[in-house]
Chain A
């Protein structure tokens, strides 16, 4: 019924731009490359682009959930490094125990920041900043500050092998995207997460287990960051805690924001996050292919971030 709609709604163009702009930008960039960049439309190049983006994409999935609760997880890069440092420790017992230990490390990091945020009541940016600093330090201590070569054949296969022409790491990222997307959309937890981010006091009054939801969200982010660290290690064929995950938190936040997830919570866009990560990857790839300096790429990325944030403004995004 039309009369029920009284609150002014966002200018439709602005809202559509916010919701679908990232896909349009990605489409335009792909079209441009197909036309003007040599060797772009090859399977090899496609795989290269996808493989390069996987660690950031996986970390960004967790970031999207945290941002959906009106938080932010600055620790993902350090958790990646920590998981990379933990991985070789137990490789002697086989791949499975090593992976489990690395994932457990990520989960514990999530418990740590989640508890600080949900129980102690520290602001997410500060709570995860502690782990951003401490996590990498711990990783370097564990690894004794050294790079360790990976010789486990299964782990190397995971990093460079492919199934039916698709790199395994890309398959992993795809499966994780589907799982996280499903969790957000169809599970009780996912819906409650969005509610907590949208209106925390309403969620408390509605009797939602707000603390538990927040902690679990940070744990998921920690585990996904650990997976990202494992993938990065497998691709690098070495555990390098000083390099792995450097500034990954910022790239992940960029992917999430460019993908249309508002920083003030209450909305999680998983597919948008994937598109955001791909867009950022493709921008730097395009500029490199055209022999422009990487610094130019940073400027372009900055412009895109500003545009994305502008589109999120409440005035454009509809009445609050």
Chain B
């Protein structure tokens, strides 16, 4: 059912200062196919989409669109040519009506040059009805649910007579029923002869809707071919760059349910954490001195799990118990009082105060206990700051140096010191070594092990599988917000982890 090649990217390369984002990537989209584009974080998916849609011109290689070479210098050129994109953050105007959004930029006019609202509304409802979406098209878009908004975005892309429709994580905010409707729309777009480029991390969806697949890793194309001929396990292995044979040798994972340390009271017990679209009944148990890794692909709900435990992500249901005492959910302050602290994933936006000194960044969370009658005691501050600077080997010219001037690794250590000031019982670490140099990374890893040895419970997230496997005593494997496996003892190996990612649960 696939036809002529619509868009052919040949040996596309793109570098940014300091990084090669794409190198010799080929991508061929044929009319009437849904083409999956997959890869882990940093694989180059977004850069490739941006090259295809004229946001970034490629540094090398060429784009051939409908038989002729093209060069898009801005997104408008690509749109005019017939490449339509639905971004992850929906590019619609929330205050305008559904119909206005559908016809934004190509509104029907009356012969006086004014907007022809009647024609627009009729055309809009006919169009949406043909996709099986029944809504009042005169309502402002923002009054509709995320699902309908996504449908409108896709319908808009499809209705512009686009030859190529690019969908970036279209189902991330949809309910299962809405996913069905979306897939029906995609089917119609495909039947209409357009090519669809489908970006998603949800393997089930890829196998359901996609005809072909291209896998990117570290800016290179590592595989391209029919979706149905690529086994799930091999797809995951390709994405992560792991040797398939080795995984095979280990065989399919058997998840033993023995709990050797069961006698010890857990320092952290999270049960049934549920948050719409993000978490579906996640359980995590950590005993004193234990490091529990969270395994999963991008978007599996790892960060959401720790944020729910730390109280910064509201949950619909589920309980968090720390050292036997239950903690009020949805409150960072309550979680901290109970002894749970979190190192956020995004150091820059959620962590450091770049303009403040190392000292102030460290004592931030502990100010009240270092103060008497509201006055900050400089002496007690200095004692604690000196201790941590020495213990974590923070390299700063002085405690007065601004944190924004430190290297990434040292910023991370400052944040760790901030958490440790609170004398926590449970440490939640979300990507503790991302973006820091090798030396500092080893130091942070050693420090985490040391803290656990002192009796802290640690939950560790890392997109580097070696780090999770080497650092953890057990691993909770998540997929699409569900716990699909739990690895313990001898099962904590990269092979078993990858196998669980691909096949865990009912797959």
Cβ contact within 8 Å between B355 and A187: no
Contacts of A206 in B (CB 8 A): 364-365, 418
Contacts of A188 in B (CB 8 A): 367-368, 371, 374-376
Please give the distance in Å from B481's CB to the nearest CB on chain A. 22
User: How far is A77 from B337 in the complex, measured between Cα atoms in Å?
Assistant: 41
Task: List residues 358-377 of chain B with CB under 8 A from any CB of chain A.
Answer: 360, 364-365, 367-368, 371, 374-376
Query: Which listed residue (B336, B356, B374) contacts A195, Cβ 8 A?
Result: B356
User: How far is A320 from B410 in the complex, measured between Cα atoms in Å?
Assistant: 16
Contacts of A2 in B (CB 8 A): 397
Interface size class of B (residues with CB under 8 A): 35 or more
Q: Is B396 an interface residue (CB 8 A)?
A: yes
Q: Is A69 an interface residue (CB 8 A)?
A: no
Query: Which listed residue (B332, B337, B356) contacts A198, Cβ 8 A?
Result: B356
Task: List residues 1-28 of chain A with CB under 8 A from any CB of chain B.
Answer: 1-7, 9
Please give the distance in Å from B347's CB to the nearest CB on chain A. 9
Q: Is A318 an interface residue (CB 8 A)?
A: yes
User: How far is A202 from B374 in the complex, measured between Cα atoms in Å?
Assistant: 21
User: How far is A318 from B337 in the complex, measured between Cα atoms in Å?
Assistant: 36
Contacts of B312 in A (CB 8 A): 204-205
Task: List residues 370-411 of chain B with CB under 8 A from any CB of chain A.
Answer: 371, 374-376, 395-397, 401-402, 404-407, 410
Contacts of A9 in B (CB 8 A): 405
Q: Is A209 an interface residue (CB 8 A)?
A: yes
Please give the distance in Å from B262's CB to the nearest CB on chain A. 32
Contacts of A204 in B (CB 8 A): 312, 332
User: How far is A267 from B360 in the complex, measured between Cα atoms in Å?
Assistant: 13
Cβ contact within 8 Å between A201 and B404: no
User: How far is A198 from B356 in the complex, measured between Cα atoms in Å?
Assistant: 8
Cβ contact within 8 Å between A192 and B352: no
User: How far is A186 from B367 in the complex, measured between Cα atoms in Å?
Assistant: 11
Contacts of A208 in B (CB 8 A): 364-365
Query: Which listed residue (B364, B371, B396, B407) contacts A203, Cβ 8 A?
Result: B364
Known: A7-B405, A208-B364. A186 touches B332 (CB 8 A): no
Cβ contact within 8 Å between B355 and A266: yes
Cβ contact within 8 Å between B351 and A202: yes
Contacts of A198 in B (CB 8 A): 353-356
Contacts of A267 in B (CB 8 A): 355
Known: A195-B356, A205-B312. A189 touches B374 (CB 8 A): yes
Task: Please report the total number of A residues contacting B with Cβ < 8 Å.
Answer: 32
Known: A1-B395, A186-B376, A201-B350. A320 touches B404 (CB 8 A): yes
User: How far is A203 from B310 in the complex, measured between Cα atoms in Å?
Assistant: 14
Known: A186-B375, A206-B418. A4 touches B367 (CB 8 A): no
Known: A191-B376, A318-B404. A3 touches B395 (CB 8 A): yes
Per DSSP, are chain B's interface residues mostly helix, strand or loop, or mixed?
mixed
Q: Is B191 an interface residue (CB 8 A)?
A: no
- Scan A181-200; emit 1 where CB is below 8 A from any B CB, else 0: 00000111101101100110
Which residue of the partner chain B has the closest CB to A7?
B405
Task: List residues 106-126 of chain A with CB under 8 A from any CB of chain B.
Answer: none
* Residue from A2, A194, A205, A319 whose CB has the most chain B CB atoms within 10 Å: A205
Cβ contact within 8 Å between A4 and B410: yes
Known: A187-B376, A191-B376, A203-B364. A7 touches B350 (CB 8 A): no
Q: Is A92 an interface residue (CB 8 A)?
A: no
Known: A205-B344, A206-B364. A266 touches B374 (CB 8 A): no
Query: Which listed residue (A1, A187, A195, A207) contacts B333, Cβ 8 A?
Result: A207
Which residue of the partner chain A has the closest CB to B419?
A206
Cβ contact within 8 Å between A202 and B350: yes
Please give the distance in Å from A137's CB to the nearest CB on chain B. 30
Which residue of the partner chain B has the closest CB to A189?
B374
User: How far is A244 from B395 in the complex, measured between Cα atoms in Å?
Assistant: 54
User: How far is A209 from B368 in the complex, measured between Cα atoms in Å?
Assistant: 11
- Scan B314-336; emit 1 where CB is below 8 A from any A CB, else 0: 00000000000000000011001
Query: Which listed residue (B342, B351, B397, B418) contacts A4, Cβ 8 A?
Result: B397
User: How far is A309 from B21 in the complex, measured between Cα atoms in Å?
Assistant: 36
Contacts of A320 in B (CB 8 A): 354, 404
User: How far is A7 from B404 in the complex, measured between Cα atoms in Å?
Assistant: 7
Please give the distance in Å from A74's CB to the nearest CB on chain B. 25
* Residue from A7, A186, A189, A192 whose CB has the most chain B CB atoms within 10 Å: A7
Please give the distance in Å from A152's CB to the nearest CB on chain B. 34
Contacts of B364 in A (CB 8 A): 191-192, 195, 202-203, 206, 208
User: How far is A208 from B356 in the complex, measured between Cα atoms in Å?
Assistant: 16
Query: Which listed residue (A6, A186, A194, A202) contacts B352, Cβ 8 A?
Result: A202
Task: List residues 223-275 of chain A with CB under 8 A from any CB of chain B.
Answer: 266-267
Cβ contact within 8 Å between B353 and A202: yes
User: How far is A256 from B462 in the complex, measured between Cα atoms in Å?
Assistant: 44
Please give the distance in Å from A143's CB to the nearest CB on chain B. 37
User: How far is A5 from B402 in the complex, measured between Cα atoms in Å?
Assistant: 10
B residues lining the A interface (CB < 8 Å):
310, 312, 332-333, 336-337, 342, 344, 349-356, 360, 364-365, 367-368, 371, 374-376, 395-397, 401-402, 404-407, 410, 418, 422
Closest 4 CB pairs of A and B: A207-B336, A206-B365, A4-B395, A198-B353
A residues lining the B interface (CB < 8 Å):
1-7, 9, 186-189, 191-192, 194-195, 198-199, 201-209, 266-267, 318-320
What are 13 contact pairs spanning A and B, CB under 8 A?
A3-B395, A7-B404, A188-B371, A191-B360, A191-B364, A191-B367, A198-B354, A198-B355, A199-B349, A202-B351, A205-B342, A206-B364, A266-B353
